Chain A
């Protein structure tokens, strides 16, 4: 089983997670920019975070045989803080970089006017930078938030096939399916969606435009939930090819629209040898992780 986890916050995870993910079959991932639990209070904090997603985190993943991509945006939660809104001015510099495969996570948290303004502006940025969009749907009032999200996407003029609407469940999947956008599902240990419900949705609706992620972060979450979903699919009678389609081909097709995936060694420009360092730092402490191909 080869896996592209299309939504995982590795900044909040350990190198042990990278090793376990590699051993289980994860070979590539996308880390969306989001909030960090502790609110940021200045644009500088965002810039350092974006720099980390593009620099240190990509390097750290490569040391464990995993290709790291990211999406860049002002997240919905912090879009409400006037101290953070100026981050919109620096986004174009980051959206131009290699390995940035979408604008995201954008969308709604509490459905405020400020959130909507920032969301719409960032849909425009996606058009200007020729990037797909990763949309977060709210935890509260999800159905109404998803409906409004789809109205704004339609009004933006972006082709729906360049938009992934994430964190869906049984109550929101239908309207996204009808919109032509990609459908994302975050498989969590307790909340949102579990792998068995996911399999039922796949059995009902087919595999077209379906994306499954672990969305693992600093909360109670599991970076191997993509794998668990693959196993549940096989248990239900889906084929290896079906699993590959959902866990690899679909995310590659969606993010591949950016033209900036780093899946081949030639284009990646990342050192992965045992002596590789990032700003002089190595995560390996002189040892190659077991299971890494050479």
Chain B
């Protein structure tokens, strides 16, 4: 496999790599075959978390995400003279994907940056994922691709949604770089609503509040009053 394919599959063992290599060869010879090979990755290559402490792959790609990323990279290489076909296939794989496949498309987007015309398809997938209430999709949507491409209002809403549904902010790429005063204000107001309802404020909220203390001043009770409670996810 090429150096790129090795790089995007750091957690696959030798057996999984050998199985993946067969699928990569099929995609290289016939990139259209990815439409049925991509769904089959879990049973043909590998399945499971790459980090046992992160079983749903919220912070880290799962093994099947890595293998599916490799297939998309191979398809992009095979279709390099007809990038619109790759763009169309990425949209179709997302549309027809189950949650595992959709998550893998989202995780693969940063590796497809160089494909001309991919941005609209990529952002459309990210927007769809952020409309769901599925932690796995929201977490994957807020990765490097969103950090690089999502406009400020959408990105801030994405971060707030992570806090709201219980996605750990470790899942959000470039959190410190993109956090700003407006996000801190939104999170402070969210925290205020939680406190008013007698509920705890997720501890992750302080990563944003502490980033822009001026924007928070006067909007939220003193951090000491609420910051010690453990994080809780919203049920509603």
Contact = CB atoms under 8 A, between A and B. Distances in A.
Interface of A: 47, 51, 54-55, 90, 92-98, 129, 259-260, 267, 269, 271, 277-281, 286
Interface stretch (B36-44, B115-123, B204-212, B222-230): B36-44
A37 to B, nearest CB: 25
Interface stretch (B8-16, B76-84, B92-100, B147-155): B92-100
A269 B42 contact: yes
A55 B40 CA distance: 16
A47 B96 contact: yes
Nearest to B37: A96
B165 interface: yes
Contacts of A98: 39-40, 42-43
10 nearest CB pairs, A to B: A280-B133, A96-B36, A96-B39, A279-B134, A93-B96, A97-B39, A279-B132, A96-B40, A54-B98, A279-B133
Contacts of B165: 280
6 contacts: A47-B96, A90-B96, A92-B36, A98-B39, A277-B134, A279-B132
A65 to B, nearest CB: 20
A260 B96 contact: no
B96 A281 contact: no
A57 to B, nearest CB: 12
Which residue of A95, A98, A129, A271 has the most chain B CB atoms within 10 A of its CB atom? Answer: A98
Given A98-B43, A280-B133, A51 B36 contact: no
Contacts of B99: 55, 279
A55 B98 contact: yes
Majority-rule SS of B interface residues: helix
A191 B2 CA distance: 61
User: Which of B35, B36, B133, B165 has the most A CB atoms < 10 Å from its CB?
Assistant: B36
A51 B35 CA distance: 16
B219 interface: no
Identify which of B39, B132, B134 gathers the most chain A CB atoms within 10 Å of its CB. B39
Given A93-B39, A96-B36, A278 B47 contact: no
Interface string B5-41: 0000000000000000000000000000001111110
Contact of A269 (B100, B132, B235): B100
A282 to B, nearest CB: 8
Contacts of A90: 96
By size class, the interface of chain B is 20 to 34
Interface of B: 35-40, 42-43, 47, 56, 92, 96, 98-100, 132-135, 165, 235
A280 B132 contact: yes
A286 B236 CA distance: 11
Nearest to A259: B43
Contact of B36 (A47, A93, A269, A271): A93
A188 to B, nearest CB: 32
A101 B38 CA distance: 17
Given A54-B98, A260-B43, 14 more contacts: A51-B98, A93-B36, A95-B36, A96-B36, A97-B40, A97-B98, A98-B43, A259-B43, A271-B56, A277-B135, A279-B133, A280-B132, A280-B133, A280-B165
Contacts of A129: 36
Contacts of B135: 277, 280
B234 to A, nearest CB: 9
A41 B36 CA distance: 26
A271 B99 CA distance: 12
A200 to B, nearest CB: 40
Contacts of B35: 92-93, 96
A247 to B, nearest CB: 26
Given A98-B39, A279-B133, A267 B47 contact: yes
A55 B136 CA distance: 14
A67 to B, nearest CB: 15
A97 B98 CA distance: 9
B98 to A, nearest CB: 5
A271 B49 CA distance: 13
B67 to A, nearest CB: 14
A271 B56 CA distance: 9
Contacts of A269: 42, 47, 100
Contacts of B39: 93, 96-98
Contacts of B134: 277-280
A277 B135 CA distance: 9
Contacts of A260: 43
